[in-house]
Amino acid sequence: MKLELLLLGILGVQPATGYDLKKFFDSHGRFLRSSTQMSQVYRALAKMTDEGWVRYEVAPRPGAQDAKTYHVTPEGMTVFLDWLTGPYLPPTVFTEPEFAARLSFSGFMTDEQLLRLLDIELTARKDQVTRFEGRDLTFEHTTAFPYDSERAVAVGEQLHQWGNAAVRDHIRRLGALRTDLLNGRLRTSLADNAVARVSGEAEVSG
């Protein structure tokens, strides 16, 4: 997915410098996009400024290069929301980052828009399990090069089982999220999870 869309979303939550944006992709947003370089961030910001999607304010810094703090413009927010709440086509591999990226910006969605996104993903993954879980994995091995077919079959079966388990867990978690959203428990359950995680980290560090 395009870096510009992620940057618009991040800046929509809070204005930031290019350096701050790079730090975000190195930590909190590490799994939304792999290997984001500083040069890529600045090129995208320059393009977005030219398009009128962002503007910046300059803060003078004595003895150092002036810092530019970027803000999303109304036009930029329109571009971002058109993507965020627009058509979603689930990819073949459910771990590709677009779905998680959209969920990460769910604060910009209505409950109805979030529910629609969850339903699209759930329907696609359930259909995927129905169609492919029991598929024939037989593969003809005719290579003339050294090749351990028994090992290949055994490892392939493990990969198949891991994939099935992962997508079923994905479906289960999506269902739980959907239920919490419909029952008005989403904020409470997430807050409880955050408290439990912090408590667990405190126990480990102690």
Compute the half-sphere exposure of residue 119: CA atoms within 13 Å on the CB side of its CA.
9
pLDDT averaged per 10 residues, the chain (length 206): 94 95 90 88 96 92 78 98 97 92 95 97 95 78 87 89 93 95 78 55 48
- Residue 115's pLDDT is what? 97
- Residue 58's pLDDT is what? 92
C-alpha span between 148 and 37 (Å, rounded): 40
What predicted TM-score, i.e. pTM, was given to this entire model? Answer: 0.82
Residue whose structure tokens are 């769910």: 106
Q: Quick check: helix, strand or coil at residue 168?
A: helix
- Residue 192's pLDDT is what? 60
Residues 6+ apart with CB under 8 A from 192: none
- Residue 132's pLDDT is what? 84
Q: What are phi and psi of 21, to 5 degrees?
A: -65, -40
At 142, list the tokens: 């005719």
What are the start-end ranges of the H helices in 14-140?
Answer: 18-26, 38-51, 74-84, 98-104, 111-132
At 151, list the tokens: 């090992």
Cα torsion 50, 52, 54, 60: sign:
positive
Question: DSSP assignment, residue 58?
Answer: E
Query: Is residue 74 a contact partner of residue 8, using CB atoms and an 8 Å limit?
Result: no
- Residue 30's pLDDT is what? 84
